[in-house]
Amino acid sequence: MKTKQLTLPQQRLILLAMFLALAAAFLFSICVGRYSVTPFEAVNIICVYFFGNPAALDPVKLSVVIKVRLPRILLAVLIGGGLASAGGSYQAIFGNPLVSPDILGVSSGAGFGAALGILLSAGMVTVEALSLAFGLAAVALVLLISRVQKKTELFMLVLSGVIIGALFEAFVSLIKYIADPQDKLPAIVIWLMGSLASASYNDVLIAALVILPCLFILLALRWKMNLLSLDEEEARSLGVNVGKLRLAVILVSTLMTAVSVSLCGIIGWIGLVIPHVGRLFIGNDHRALMPACAFLGGTYLLLIDGLARTMTAAEIPLSILTAIIGAPFFAYMLRKTTGG
């Protein structure tokens, strides 16, 4: 995708605008819902709860803002930013604009782990733990299969990811087939389509402990990602070990994706579409693109989650909305850029 080169002050100005958009989406999400509050009330409730006397607040509004919406919104920001950053990193590593965070089978493996936990009537903590474990196991299998003569080629990684992804998808289909259609099957299907309805502060803590350090690592490596467009020998001559850089970025991005799927199910299209949106605004320079992905991903998932919980009486799964909005937009971008 051809984009004009921006100066450093221009990039910083656009990143500031993206951060402000994220803050606005955060406030908007706090306020909207079946029980609405004004922006002033929302800010006042948050400030008084954390820095004042919560007993003086309206208990209903306090419960809605602090106990219901705030953990959900914080989790949406973390997961949206993590998935978008992982997608941008994968597209840089593989040199392919159609790559998304689930290319190595992590989403399929994590989905199988969660489906297995639901089938066994395990608690939510166990379901999340199984999801994370199988997501990481899927990637470990991909790395093992793709290792040929002590080297891992990109095309072998992609092919191995397709194989392992298809294998775990078959296991998920098997679990759906044997699950109780009155109880377990609906729960499995709904979980696989993604939702933040069960978000808690424990989930926010887990996401923060994993996603934030991973984001910092990607931000620290972002200037080196620009060198991946060069030949491997040219990159080595500039002091970059391409193999180690690719492995580090893959592991960090995969860990963020696995944790995201384990906490809220499979949310598609964010890691594929948002990096392209970032390039439209800020260009291909990964020094600015990676923080742009984090801001845009968090904003996008906040808005999608707001639609999911307000459009109908029954909450709409997130992957349905991300696909309905993301697919036409991605098709438009392909037409506009003629696939460039």
What does the alpha-carbon distance between residue 243 and residue 260 come to, in Å, rounded to a whole number? Answer: 26
Domain range annotation of the chain: 8-35+77-337
The pLDDT assigned to 318 comes to 93
What does the alpha-carbon distance between residue 257 and residue 266 come to, in Å, rounded to a whole number? Answer: 9
Q: What is the mean pLDDT of residues 203-209?
A: 95
Task: Encode pLDDT of 236-292 as tens digits.
Answer: 777 777 778 888 898 899 999 999 999 999 998 899 899 999 998 998 889 999 999
Supply 157's token pair: 């990684």
Supply 90's token pair: 């994968």
Confidence of residue 340 (pLDDT cuts 50, 70, 90): low
Residue type, 84: A
Rounded to 5 degrees, φ, ψ at 195 are: -165, 150
pTM for the predicted model, two decimal places: 0.91
What does the alpha-carbon distance between residue 26 and residue 66 come to, in Å, rounded to a whole number? Answer: 13
**Higher-pLDDT residue of 211, 338:** 211
Q: What is the mean pLDDT of residues 75-79?
A: 96
**297, pLDDT greater than 60:** yes
Asked: is 8-35+77-337 a CATH 3.40.50.2300 domain? The reply is no
The mean pLDDT of the chain is 88
